[in-house]
Amino acid sequence: MDCCETATFKDQSPEERKRLLHMVVVGGGPTGVEFAGELQDFFENDLKTWMPEIADEFRVTLVEALPSVSCPVIQLTSGRFADTRCRFSLCSPSS
């Protein structure tokens, strides 16, 4: 909530506001997927009422580094959240 409130300050630059309203969830397992979905739900259903001036700028990104472990979960979830602002990203592990 602190990020959301800070984003409403009138002296925030567009870049800072964008950074404050972008939530990243790391881990594409069941818990990460559920948390990302709940976070998006919270933005769509609650924050739009409380802070309509910034509600359309929220973004959620779910990141998974091990595609072989969670690829089916990510594919299923990305299909279910296709009409939301959730973004799913598979990252190749660093060497």
With respect to residue 80, please indicate whether it lies within any of the assigned structural domains: yes
20 has pLDDT over 70: yes
How many domains in the chain? Answer: 1
Whole-angstrom distance, CA of residue 89 vs CA of residue 24: 10
Full residue range of the structural domain in which residue 86 is found:
69-95
Q: Establish if 93 belongs to a structural domain.
A: yes
Predicted local confidence at residue 17, as pLDDT = 93
Q: What is the pLDDT of residues 51-94, one digit of tens each?
A: 888 888 888 888 877 755 555 665 666 666 666 666 656 564 55
Residue 92 maps to a domain:
yes
Please give the radius of gyration of the chain, using alpha carbons only, rounded to the nearest integer. 14
How far apart, in whole angstroms, are the C-alpha atoms of residue 13 and residue 63? 26
Helices (H), the chain: 2-7, 14-20, 30-42, 48-50, 67-80
Give the pLDDT confidence of 32-46 residue by residue, as tens digits.
888 888 888 888 888
pLDDT above 90 coverage of the chain, percent: 14
